[in-house]
Structures are given as structure tokens and as C-alpha cells.
Amino acid sequence: MTDHDKQRDDRTGRSAAAARMAHQHTWVDQQIRIAMEKGQFDDLPGAGKPIKDLGASHDPDWWLKKLVERERIAVLPPSLQLRKDDAELDDRLDELFAEAEVRREVEDFNARVMRARYSPQDGQPPLVTMPRDVDQTVAGWHRRREVRRAARAAAAAAAAASEPSEQAGRPGRRRWWRRSRH
């Protein structure tokens, strides 16, 4: 190493950084020892109890199983998932506002049914779900939508009919949009 290189190392601290990296494990051990002396590891949850499932057979998917258990994820075979989706499809469609969205959702459902129909199903329940007729499903969505609109209109009319009886004690009161101009 030349004098110029030694000066650059002293100036930038490259040799000091290399020394710190070489002794990093001792610094970590020292921090753990200090924390233990201060009692920061006392009264931790599960202290003195055996670790659950420690020493059981090795399962490479242990983390996935724990995730499913913790998040309560239901993993169904495709045939059962399609049955469930078919039963819930009308309710899901009723949340949509545009016919194009409804058609897209039904076409996506039909594509999943056809994909499952032509996939091998070893050891799974049989696929009994049939694709839906898009036009009939959209027509049903329109009918349910009109029924909901009529029910909302009837409820609004009932609310409007009950409103004047509440204001019968206050004659002469006018709404701001019905004020007469003089």
C-alpha cells in the first residue's frame, strides 16, 4: 500500500469500516449480554414454556399452513369453490352498477367453469356447476334491479306521505325553493 492509498483509507475510513464489519458478531453478542443483564428478556410471552411443534417432523410448507390457520383462509378444491361462487354470484352481481360489469363478471365465471371442466380432477369432488347463460343472467339482474328501485320508490313515497302530517301544526311554512317572488 502506498502512502497515497494509506492516506485515502485514513481519510475515508475504509479500514475502520472493514474492522467494524469483521467484529460485528462480537458487537451483537455484547448487545444481547447487556440486554440480558438489564432484564429486557424477562417476562416475555411464552417464557419457560416449550415451543409448540418443535421437534415434529420437518414440513417445508409449515409457514403456509400457519398462515392459513392464522388468517382463517378457506382453501377449497376448484369444483367446490365454483359451486360456492355460483351460489353467491347473483348477490355479487347485484352490487354492480353497469351491465357491462355484470356481463364481464358472468363471462369470467363461465371461463373458470370451462377451465375446471377440462382440467384433470384426480381425487376431487365432481364438477357439477354449469356455465350460466350470459343474457339470461343479465336479464335477471335487470329484474332484481327494478324490484329494488320500486321498493326504494315506495319507501320514499311512504316517507313523503308521512312528512306533511308531521308539519300540520306549522301552517304557512314554505321551502326555500318554493318561495314566491314579489
Q: Report pLDDT for 171.
A: 56
Residue with cell 415451543: 51
Euclidean distance between CA atoms 158 and 162, whole angstroms? 6
Domain locations in the chain?
78-156
pLDDT in tens, the chain (182 residues): 555 445 455 556 667 777 777 778 888 899 999 999 999 888 888 888 887 767 667 788 888 888 888 888 887 888 899 999 999 999 999 999 999 999 999 999 999 999 999 988 788 888 899 999 999 999 999 999 999 999 999 999 998 888 765 555 555 566 666 666 65
Q: Report pLDDT for 132.
A: 96
The count of C-alpha atoms lying within 13 angstroms of the C-alpha of 13, restricted to the half-sphere facing its C-beta, is: 3
- Sequence-separated (6 or more) residues with CB below 8 Å from residue 145: 94
- HEC assignment per residue over the chain: CCHHHHHHHHHHCHHHHHHHHHCHHHHHHHHHHHHHHHCCCCCCCCCCCCCCCCCCCCCCCHHHHHHHHHHCCCCCCHHHHHHHHHHHHHHHHHCCCCHHHHHHHHHHHHHHHHHHHCCCCCCCCCCCCCCCCHHHHHHHHHHHHHHHHHHHHHHHHHHHHHHHHHCCCCCCCCCHHHCCCC
Q: Report pLDDT for 7.
A: 47
Q: What is the dihedral of CA 78, 83, 88, 92, to 10 degrees?
A: 50
Q: Report pLDDT for 24.
A: 81
| Closest by CA position to 131, among listed 95, 85, 92, 98 | 85
Cα angle for residues 8, 12, 14 (degrees, 5° grid): 90
| Closest by CA position to 82, among listed 29, 33, 119 | 119
pTM: 0.52
Q: Report pLDDT for 12.
A: 60
Q: Report pLDDT for 56.
A: 67
